[in-house]
Structure 1
Amino acid sequence: MNNNLIARFKINFLFLVSCFLFLTSCGEKKAEEAHEEEKSENEVALTEAQFKTIGIETGSIEMKNLNTVIKANGYTAVPPQNMANVSTLIGGVVKDIYVLEGTFVSKGKTLATIQNLEVTEMQEDYNSAIANIEYLQLEYNRQKTLSDENVNPRKTFQEVKSKLAVEKARAQAAKNKLQALNVSLSGNSSLIPIVSPISGYVGKISITKGAFAETGITLFEVVDNSQMHLDLNVFEKDLGKISVGQEVDFVLTNQSNKSIKGKIFGINKSFSNESKTVAVHAKINPSDAKDLISGMYVAANINITNQTVQALPKDAIVRNGDKYYIYIQEEHQEKSPKTKAEDHKHEEGEAHTEHAEGEEEGHNEIHFKTIEVVPGTTDLGYTEVKFVTTIPNDAKIVIKGAFYLLATSKGGGEHEH
């Protein structure tokens, strides 16, 4: 009985030891695989043929005089005096429309006409008042002479003088109304011309022929783009670095990447709405503003100062996730995975010649290692770089072909050569 218990105990003990060894080997294998995977992400090997075909070029850190910039977003805008919302002071039926959207009009150009019979009454009031003024003016002169000679009572002269003043006031009121409506003082037309108050391009037209145009409603939009400028939103922390006269380079976020220049001419003294940004205004060169329209979103760089910094060509820096890297060429060379596999086969009896060929291929590989960096200002094709870890002064940095190395490390570059 005791022998059976001892035998069972030995069996159980051996089983537990086997399980422990199995789990330990699995853990070591997984750790080794994870290490190999991490290593493959950080290191890339190319054959000499791949190196030449891709055109990998190496260089070193350069000291460059780059512009320090502040990035800001905003939009194009025109001053209030260069934008007009045309309406009418008196309602009426739209008789004719003479322009189309997008056409250029000069100041004073008739955009449309509306019809209102009250205009005829205004003209009649004006003409009637003018006629009465002519009669009363003669009567005023006659009564003044008689009054001065004490022929007629002075009361009669005062009555004529009062009537003349009333008619002059009535004529002036009618004249002001007709001039405000851009209607001729002479004539009896009921048409009211809607004229453009500025020169510019017609925007939205909000009326149609035969419709009733109400007062206070915008009928036409006219915009003069010759004085286009930028409204940029600058954060509070950067405000102290901004000053009038600084140059701005910007691109249209929804258009081409062509860079357009401007110059700051004004800085607001209050925050915009509830955001902690301040509006900064930059004038655009008229020759560059002719193809722009108000409301285009822009991404701008405000040039602050020049400073000498460590820099690399911008193509030397690649992004992987949320981090940025460069590649340096390693001096030592290791055997490729193919060579290691052939070494293992050789140990099992594989021909020695195959091992030698694989070893020779491994020695012909060129190895590269990733180095994490923090990019800064980009200007003139170069980007400022700050290294997270130090690198040798004579390190060979990949300045051309870094993107291919990144793709190769992820398994996407082996078919591109």
Structure 2
Amino acid sequence: MNILENLTVITMTIWTQRKLAYGLLLIVCSVMLFSCNEKKAEEKEEEEKPQTEVALNESQYKTVGIETGFVENRNLNKVIKANGYTTVPPQNSAEVSTLIGGTVKDIFVLEGTFVNKGKVLATIQNLEVIEMQEDYHSATANIEYLQLEYNRQKTLSDENVNPRKVFQEVKSKLAAERARAQAAKNKLDALHVSTKGSTSLVPIVAPISGYVGNIKIAKGAYAQTGITLFEVVDNSQMHLDLNVYEKDLGSISIGQVIDFVLTNQSNKSIKGKIFGINKSFSNESKTVAVHAKIESDDAKGLIPGMYVSANINITNATVPALPKDAVVRNADKYFVFVQEEEHAEHKSEEEKTHEKETHFKAIEVIPGTTDLGFTEVKFVDKIDPDAKIVTKGAFYLLSAMKGGGEHGH
């Protein structure tokens, strides 16, 4: 019986020890699992932390050509950007046509030729012109006869020799012939044809002084009425038509100076001055046409229809600024790179064998007006006024930072 009791006690003891061991194992596993999860969370947090620093060794620094500078106070113009095209006032552009159809006899000019007002550009032939001249000559001849008859009948009528009715008939015929002669003369004058002599040729003359544009007729072709034969443009009053959006209209006023460049020739800036602002929107673009005059000397070489990009100068202010290449964009934010100061540290012999490194930190800024190669900057966080800011090579630093930051040794 004692033996059985001893066995029972031993069994219970072993069972209790096993339960205790399992409990301890469970506690250890829980602690390890918690530690792993915490470590992963820390790693994840570190991974999500944005990279804001980059380092270059001496070789990279020289190869990239890094240059630094300081924030400067610059006198910059606030500008409104607008696109448009060159044009001339309506009175400085003419489309030349003919009032009477006919066959083109001669063309006396070439495209690009400068002509004065009244210059004969071409002649067309139409036999109806001869009839107009005959009508005029006939009417003037009748007027001479009827004028004499009028004078005679008036004298007789005043002396009561002839009935007054005869005098009234002569007077009526004289007035009719004078009207016919005037009508024939008006037609010939409109066609620039002389009332003297007899000709079938109608001259096509320049209505304004300027340069001949497109010539749309050929010798021997039939010129129809109402169809443009020539274009003549006077470029001396060249101006710009700029499209300004509704949100910017409140800042635009007459007299403001603009700087513009030709879209396809951006190497030369030309100045102008606003002289007119439309009072209605252009079609569905929600823009208003703003007219700017170009000085005559600057207008040389310009032709109507050339597209331009313009800056309308609104205000002038002194603001903190950096060269525009110092400001780089990453996603929807803008940054500049500040060169960090070297810290005196104890380095091992192995570290001293490596090339010297220069560290840069990306600092967020809010860009403002860009003018004359400089951009206004406002720092999100305050920085040292004497901080060295990268003015050349910032884009390379941004690429290096996005690619993983510091270079590998």
TM-score band by shorter chain is 0.7 to 0.9
Question: For residues 154 and 334 of structure 1, do their structure 2 counterparts lie closer, same or farther at Cα, with a shift above 3 Å needed?
Answer: farther
Give the equivalent residue in structure 1 for 2:105: 95
* 1:403 Cα deviation after fit: 3.6
Distance 2:298 2:331 in 1: 37
Give the equivalent residue in structure 2 for 1:398: 390
Answering whether residue 354 of structure 2 is matched by residue 361 of structure 1, we say yes
One-letter identity of the residue aligned with 1:401: G
One-letter identity of the residue aligned with 1:226: S
Alpha-carbon deviations, 1:293-345, whole Å to 9, x = none?
1111111111111122221122322344554321110125699xxx9xxxxxx
Answering whether residue 370 of structure 2 is matched by residue 378 of structure 1, we say yes
One-letter identity of the residue aligned with 1:397: I
Q: TM-score, normalised by structure 2?
A: 0.83
Distance 2:163 2:45 in 1: 125
Distance 1:152 1:173 in 2: 32
Answering whether residue 123 of structure 2 is matched by residue 131 of structure 1, we say no
Question: For residues 206 and 143 of structure 1, do their structure 2 counterparts lie closer, same or farther at Cα, with a shift above 3 Å needed?
Answer: same
Give the equivalent residue in structure 2 for 1:314: 324
* 1:203 Cα deviation after fit: 1.2
Give the equivalent residue in structure 2 for 1:349: none
Answering whether residue 229 of structure 2 is matched by residue 229 of structure 1, we say no
Give the equivalent residue in structure 1 for 2:263: 253
Alpha-carbon deviations, 1:380-416, whole Å to 9, x = none?
33211122343333321112332443455467xx9xx
* 1:161 Cα deviation after fit: 1.0
* 1:46 Cα deviation after fit: 2.0
> Which residue among 215, 219, 237 is the counterpart of 1:205?
215
Answering whether residue 65 of structure 2 is matched by residue 73 of structure 1, we say no
Distance 2:97 2:326 in 1: 58
> Which residue among 256, 273, 276 is the counterpart of 2:283?
273
Structure 1 segments unaligned to the other structure (5+ residues):
1-12, 14-19, 340-354
Give the equivalent residue in structure 2 for 1:143: 153
* 1:51 Cα deviation after fit: 3.3
One-letter identity of the residue aligned with 1:361: H
8 Å CA contact retained: 1:44, 1:368: yes
Give the equivalent residue in structure 1 for 2:123: 113
- State the superposition RMSD in angstroms: 3.3
Alpha-carbon deviations, 1:226-271, whole Å to 9, x = none?
1111111112222111111111111111223311100011111111
Distance 2:68 2:35 in 1: 48
* 1:29 Cα deviation after fit: 8.0
SS at match of 2:365: strand
One-letter identity of the residue aligned with 1:251: V
Question: For residues 190 and 321 of structure 1, do their structure 2 counterparts lie closer, same or farther at Cα, with a shift above 3 Å needed?
Answer: farther
One-letter identity of the residue aligned with 1:112: A
The correspondence of residues 177-216 of structure 1 with structure 2, limited to 5 A, is: 177-216=187-226
* 1:65 Cα deviation after fit: 2.1
Alpha-carbon deviations, 1:347-401, whole Å to 9, x = none?
xxxxxxxx83444425x10011222323221223321112234333332111233
One-letter identity of the residue aligned with 2:104: V
SS at match of 1:222: strand
Distance 1:237 1:391 in 2: 34
Give the equivalent residue in structure 2 for 1:6: none
8 Å CA contact retained: 1:130, 1:167: yes
One-letter identity of the residue aligned with 2:391: I
* 1:283 Cα deviation after fit: 0.4
* 1:199 Cα deviation after fit: 0.8
Q: TM-score, normalised by structure 1?
A: 0.81
Distance 1:55 1:389 in 2: 27
Give the equivalent residue in structure 2 for 1:9: none
Question: For residues 153 and 323 of structure 1, do their structure 2 counterparts lie closer, same or farther at Cα, with a shift above 3 Å needed?
Answer: same
How many correspondences in the alignment? 382
SS at match of 1:107: coil
Structure 2 segments unaligned to the other structure (5+ residues):
1-25, 27-33
The correspondence of residues 272-311 of structure 1 with structure 2, limited to 5 A, is: 272-311=282-321
Distance 1:46 1:238 in 2: 44
Distance 1:96 1:370 in 2: 74
One-letter identity of the residue aligned with 1:207: I
Answering whether residue 185 of structure 2 is matched by residue 175 of structure 1, we say yes
Distance 1:321 1:98 in 2: 62
% identical aligned pairs = 75
Q: Which moved more, 1:297-306 or 1:46-55?
A: 46-55
8 Å CA contact retained: 1:333, 1:365: no
